């Protein structure tokens, strides 16, 4: 598979430290099956809908409509009382062993569970701190924020699953974090710090394995997934998420930890300075993400990992000149203009990125797939 280095704007530089915004006035939870009455008290960790618990304590304020992944939904508004009151009994960490890994990974996330199900041995373990999308830094900052915890559980996994090779993979451009890792990793002689170039798609499991020439039975986790497992084993409720907010329309670019279900507008008002009047807001990456329809009502739910705020560029689409660059760059060797085999498309956006005629091939492919 071909790998591509994307052009980077050197002016988009991320702040070195994580910003924390854990006290929003209101949170907005999608309201399927509300379990609480208006104006009732809610506690942190209390189930307030059939599937969600409240990330804060406060008041069930009411309902309103908001945007979740660009679709309008009715949501429960919780007014924060900033007291973080919880009625849940404190639970003690459980021992890291295979039955508990299965139980806790299943509680954390079905996809995480699927990685451990029916496994008693892994030949290799890869922990990836790579984010694919340009100007997104979540996995590397999760490593920076939790380096001791992550190395501890990585070491335990390598022992439990008797893995022969243990790779902590970091992009070679992340020099500050590499230095942090080097200071600590010496105490874990079986974990190998592995540096890779800043190439697009190495954040995907199959591309990274091919790059590292790893074929046999392998556990692959991102630092985000490993932290979810660690938190579940340590019985820590996760009421927060980490996202990157960056772009050339911002005075500063930040990685920020926020309460789940915070309104994007509130984060922008508190922490960001948009430097131009004509801009676009894109969620989940410039290559694979989507244009936010309404910034004022957009909720950061756990599926959102990045917001890019970019100066608007008016690039008119021209007619195709048959240059063939889209086919040349495609990691799957597809011709995006030819309907054949588009089911193998990764939705990586490279064809759109390279097209000299500004044709939105990714959109075209999606429409064809939906026909
Ligand atoms: S979006 Fe699909 S067709 Fe376009 S480059 Fe990626 S894999 Fe190929
Ligand atoms: S890259 Fe753009 S102009 Fe070139 S063949 Fe593909 S669609 Fe046509």
Which residue, by CA, sits nearest to atom 2 of ligand 1? 345
Query: Domain limits at 60?
Result: 19-87+238-311
Same structural domain, 222 and 103: yes
pLDDT at 226 over 80: yes
pLDDT at position 75? 95
Q: Is residue 11 part of a domain?
A: no
pLDDT at 176 over 80: no
Q: Is residue 136 part of a domain?
A: yes
Instruction: Evaluate: CB of 287 within 6 angstroms of ligand 1.
Output: no
Average pLDDT over residues 51-67: 95
Residue whose CB lies within 8 A of the most ligand 2 atoms, among 316, 349, 356, for a mutation test: 356
Contacts of 213 (CB under 8 A, 6+ apart): none
- Alpha-carbon distance of 90 to 239, in angstroms, equals 15
Same structural domain, 268 and 244: yes
Instruction: Evaluate: CB of 320 within 6 angstroms of ligand 2.
Output: yes
Q: How confident is the model at residue 5 (pLDDT cuts 50, 70, 90)?
A: confident
Q: Is residue 185 part of a domain?
A: yes
Q: Which atom of ligand 1 is nearest to the CA of 335?
A: 3
Same structural domain, 38 and 158: no
Q: Is residue 316 part of a domain?
A: no
Same structural domain, 140 and 229: yes
Average pLDDT over residues 335-347: 87
Q: How far is CA 342 from each of CA 81, 223, 320, 323, 369, rounded to the nearest angstrom?
A: 50, 31, 19, 19, 7
Q: Which of 233, 260, 286 is the last residue of a domain?
A: 233
| Higher-pLDDT residue of 320, 90 | 320
**What is the three-class DSSP state of 329?**
helix
Contacts of 369 (CB under 8 A, 6+ apart): 342, 343, 345
- Alpha-carbon distance of 203 to 172, in angstroms, equals 14
Q: Under the phi-then-psi rule, with left for phi > 0, alpha for psi from -120 to 50, and beta for the rest, what region is 257?
A: beta
Contacts of 17 (CB under 8 A, 6+ apart): none
Average pLDDT over residues 358-368: 91
- Total domains in the chain come to 3
Q: Which of 216, 233, 250 is the last residue of a domain?
A: 233
Q: Is residue 14 part of a domain?
A: no
Same structural domain, 163 and 218: yes
pLDDT at 200 over 80: yes
Residue whose CB lies within 8 A of the most ligand 1 atoms, among 355, 365, 367, for a mutation test: 365
Same structural domain, 25 and 116: no
Same structural domain, 150 and 229: yes
Same structural domain, 113 and 24: no
Q: Which atom of ligand 1 is nearest to the CA of 362?
A: 1
Q: Is residue 7 part of a domain?
A: no
Contacts of 62 (CB under 8 A, 6+ apart): 38, 77
pLDDT at position 1? 65
Averaged pLDDT score across all residues of the chain: 94
Same structural domain, 279 and 357: no
- Alpha-carbon distance of 168 to 196, in angstroms, equals 11
Same structural domain, 23 and 82: yes
Chain-centroid distance of CA 255 in Å reads 11
The ligand with the least distance to the CA atom of 4 is 1
Type and span of the H or E element at 158: helix 147-160
Q: Is residue 317 part of a domain?
A: no
- Alpha-carbon distance of 66 to 72, in angstroms, equals 5
Q: Is residue 92 part of a domain?
A: no
Same structural domain, 203 and 285: no
Tokens of 160: 């439990």
pLDDT at position 249? 97
Kindly write down the DSSP assignment for every residue of 97-155, as one continuous string: SHHHHHHHHHHH-HHHHHHHTT-S--SEEEEE----STT--HHHHHHHHTHHHHHHHHH
Q: Residues 163, 123: contact at Cβ < 8 Å?
A: yes
Least confident of 219-233, 274-288, 332-346, 348-362: 332-346
Q: How confident is the model at residue 224 (pLDDT cuts 50, 70, 90)?
A: very high
Same structural domain, 51 and 151: no
pLDDT, tens digit, 9 for 90 and up, residues 95-151: 999 999 999 999 999 999 999 999 999 999 999 999 999 999 999 999 999 999 999
pLDDT, tens digit, 9 for 90 and up, residues 8-53: 898 999 998 999 999 999 999 998 889 999 999 999 999 999 999 9
- Alpha-carbon distance of 34 to 28, in angstroms, equals 12
Q: Which of 264, 288, 311 is the last residue of a domain?
A: 311
CATH number at residue 136: 3.40.50.11540
Q: Which atom of ligand 2 is nearest to the CA of 321?
A: 3
pLDDT at 90 over 90: no
The ligand with the least distance to the CA atom of 330 is 1
């Amino acid at each position: 598979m071909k790998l591509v280095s994307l052009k980077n704007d050197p002016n988009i530089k991320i702040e070195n430290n994580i910003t924390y915004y854990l006290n929003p006035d209101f949170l907005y939870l999608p309201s399927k099956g509300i379990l609480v009455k208006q104006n009732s008290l809610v506690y942190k960790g209390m189930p307030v809908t059939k599937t969600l618990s409240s990330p804060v304590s406060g008041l069930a304020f009411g309902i309103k409509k908001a945007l979740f992944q660009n679709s309008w939904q009715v949501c429960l508004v919780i007014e924060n009382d900033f007291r973080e009151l919880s009625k849940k009994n404190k639970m003690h960490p459980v021992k890291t062993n295979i039955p508990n890994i299965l139980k806790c990974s299943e509680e954390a996330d079905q996809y995480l569970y699927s990685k451990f199900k029916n496994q008693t041995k892994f030949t290799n373990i890869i922990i990836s701190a790579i984010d694919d999308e340009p100007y997104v830094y979540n996995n590397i900052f999760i490593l920076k924020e939790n380096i001791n915890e992550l190395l501890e559980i990585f070491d335990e996994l390598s022992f439990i699953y008797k893995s022969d090779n243990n790779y902590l993979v970091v992009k070679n451009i992340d020099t500050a974090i590499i230095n942090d890792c080097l200071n600590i990793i010496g105490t874990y002689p079986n974990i190998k710090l592995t540096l890779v170039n800043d190439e697009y798609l190495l954040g995907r499991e199959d591309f990274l394995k091919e790059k590292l020439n790893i074929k046999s039975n392998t556990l692959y986790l991102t630092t985000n997934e490993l932290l979810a497992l660690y938190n579940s084993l340590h019985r820590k409720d996760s009421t927060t998420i980490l996202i990157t907010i960056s772009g050339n329309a911002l005075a500063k670019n930040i990685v920020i930890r926020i309460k789940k279900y915070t309104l994007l507008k509130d984060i922008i008002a508190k922490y960001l300075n948009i430097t131009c009047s004509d801009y676009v807001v894109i969620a989940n990456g410039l290559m694979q993400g989507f244009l936010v329809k309404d910034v004022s009502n957009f909720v950061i739910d756990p599926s959102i990992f990045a917001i890019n705020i970019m100066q608007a560029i008016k690039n008119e689409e021209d007619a195709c000149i048959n240059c063939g660059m889209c086919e040349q760059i495609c990691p799957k060797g597809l011709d995006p203009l030819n309907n054949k085999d588009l089911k193998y498309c990764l939705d990586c956006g490279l064809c759109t990125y390279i097209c000299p005629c500004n044709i939105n091939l990714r959109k075209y492919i999606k429409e064809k797939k939906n026909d």
